[in-house]
Amino acid sequence: MSKNKEYLIKRGNSEYEVIIGLEVHAQVLSKSKLFSDSPTNFGAEPNTQVSLVDAAFPGMLPVINEFCIKQAVKTGIGLNAAINKKSIFDRKNYFYADLPQGYQISQYKDPIVGEGSILLDLPDGEKEVGIERLHLEQDAGKSIHDIDPQNTLVDLNRSGVALMEIVSKPDLRSPEEVNLYIKKLRSIMRYLGTCDGNMQEGSLRADVNVSIRKTGDKKLGTRCEIKNVNSIKFMQMAIEYEANRQADILEEGGSIDQETRLFDTKKNETRSMRSKEDAHDYRYFPDPDLLPLELTDDFILKIKKEIPELPDEKKKRFVDKFKLTPYEANILVSDIETSKYFEDVIKNSDIKLATNWITGELFALLNDRNLEISESPISSKNLSSLINLIKDGTISGKIAKTVFEIMANESKDPKSIIDEKGLKQQSDPKEIEKIVDDVIKENPKNVELFKSGKDKLFGFFVGQVMKKTDGKANPKLVNDILKKKLN
């Protein structure tokens, strides 16, 4: 990993620092919606997951889904945040075809979760990013403009799905920090089981606030908000473009207008959506259909007890207990399934070898086949056996790679593969000595050359022995015996 260089935008003699804040919309992992019992499955037929409440029929009333509240509190605890024992659901009023109520139920002045923080692992150390708040709100439906040439169609399946809006402080300074922030946030929520973090399915998207200021300036510049960006790559591209756009304006003596912008992924540019003057007046007011949400200490305490070990603690434990480097620990804890796999493997096998095999061969395999670790063709048990076979000298590291490949295709345990294919390491010194003798006998010229000082030829002899044993000879023994015989 390269050293985290300061991300600055240069224009002539000026240098600009980029200030970024994120509003992440994370879909709450829940079987039913925030205020109704409709299911939340992704990819269902349009308008099949819609109740009378979601479609805002006359006289229909929202009822809070307690599970979603638990999920929000859990996430808050995972973000080291203050849980507000009293929070209020407000109505955010605006008209749109895919907003059946004519308002979105959200939390405005009194969110369920207050200030917290997230730790980022930068190459040169940790950085704390502040969380401003987390609040719960309903998702809207979806307007579809490209099916019917005359009409816009509306799919209300998403209408009323619970979202957590997680607002960061303007603490991020580069596209790379945004990358790490999103990944860390996603990791924490996946550990907690409160959001699946699936960006392709829209479970995680963000509004990105970007401003710039000359290095050394204390005052924040005017920010622009880039709406609804749904991948880390696009967020980074949008920030890059936006920071440069703002720098160009300032450099020409202009000023930044506070506005909402959209990122065009095809043209790789942001463009104005609406200015501050055109901003909606959402007429927020407390939703009279819902009483203020009051949480008891018991309720919060019970959730606290359910919080699993989170990535930061786990990383610390891996470093302290397993003597991993912080870098290794980071890789292994970033995904909860990976960390579980790792801990399963090392229950019965060498930690160092396990770390190398998982972060090396296994990750390469998964990456190659585009698989999650939970879908790994090699179970943690089988990888553990493989490592033990290396450790006890049954097979060499090189043979292990062959066995690993077979395991990847056949999902068998390594022992039976070794037996079946006769891959067991030859560790009988007498047998090896015999082969070494044969090799020396067959290559008198090279022996002479070696003895006259051509040390490099040692490798040639090793290779010849390995060739005769199909690579199964114990490399250490081969070395030792060869040395003895040749000198």
Binding site for other proteins (CB under 8 A): 52, 55-64, 91, 93, 95-97, 100-103, 152, 154, 281, 283-285, 288-291
Q: Which is nearer to other proteins, 57 or 327 (CB)?
A: 57
Q: Which is nearer to other proteins, 109 or 304 (CB)?
A: 109
Four-CA torsion 456, 458, 460, 464, nearest 10 degrees: 180
Structure tokens at 8: 């600055």
Phi and psi angles of residue 150, each rounded to the nearest 5 degrees, phi first? -95, -35
Q: Which residues pair with 8 in a beta bridge?
A: 17
Q: CB 141 → other proteins: shortest distance, Å? A: 10
Q: CB 344 → other proteins: shortest distance, Å? A: 44
User: Angle at which helices 175-192 and 311-322 pack, to 10 degrees?
Assistant: 90
Structure tokens at 38: 């409709």
Q: Which is nearer to other proteins, 59 or 216 (CB)?
A: 59
Q: Which is nearer to other proteins, 12 or 95 (CB)?
A: 95
Q: CB 93 → other proteins: shortest distance, Å? A: 5
Q: How deeply is 424 buried, as exposed, middle or buried, from its count of CB atoms within 10 A (0-12, 13-18, 19+)?
A: middle
Helix and strand totals (H; E) in the chain:
16, 16
Q: CB 299 → other proteins: shortest distance, Å? A: 17
Q: Which is nearer to other proteins, 96 or 327 (CB)?
A: 96
Residue 243 to residue 284: CA distance in whole angstroms? 32
Q: CB 169 → other proteins: shortest distance, Å? A: 24
What does the chain come to in residues? 487
Q: CB 189 → other proteins: shortest distance, Å? A: 27
Q: CB 99 → other proteins: shortest distance, Å? A: 9
Instruction: Name residue, tokens 């709100």.
Output: 137
Q: CB 262 → other proteins: shortest distance, Å? A: 19
Strands annotated E in 242-347: 259-264, 269-275, 285-286, 293-294
- Burial code (b: 16+ CB inside 10 Å, e: under 16) for 271-287 equals eeeeeeeeeeeeeeebb
Residue type, 294: E
Q: Which is nearer to other proteins, 147 or 301 (CB)?
A: 147
Q: Which is nearer to other proteins, 59 or 422 (CB)?
A: 59
Contact 50, 38 (CB under 8 A): yes
Residue 393 to residue 475: CA distance in whole angstroms? 10
Q: CB 178 → other proteins: shortest distance, Å? A: 31
Q: Which is nearer to other proteins, 52 or 307 (CB)?
A: 52
Q: Which is nearer to other proteins, 284 or 363 (CB)?
A: 284
Q: Which is nearer to other proteins, 145 or 305 (CB)?
A: 145
Q: CB 60 → other proteins: shortest distance, Å? A: 8
Concatenating the DSSP letter of every residue in 395-432 gives S-HHHHHHHHHHHHHH---HHHHHHHHT---B--HHHH
User: CA of 327: how far to CAs of 120, 315, 344, in Å?
Assistant: 13, 9, 20
Closest to 189 (Cα-Cα) out of 273, 109, 75 = 75
Structure tokens at 316: 């610390």
3-state secondary structure of 145: coil
Q: Which is nearer to other proteins, 36 or 168 (CB)?
A: 36
Residue 184 to residue 38: CA distance in whole angstroms? 30
Q: CB 407 → other proteins: shortest distance, Å? A: 54
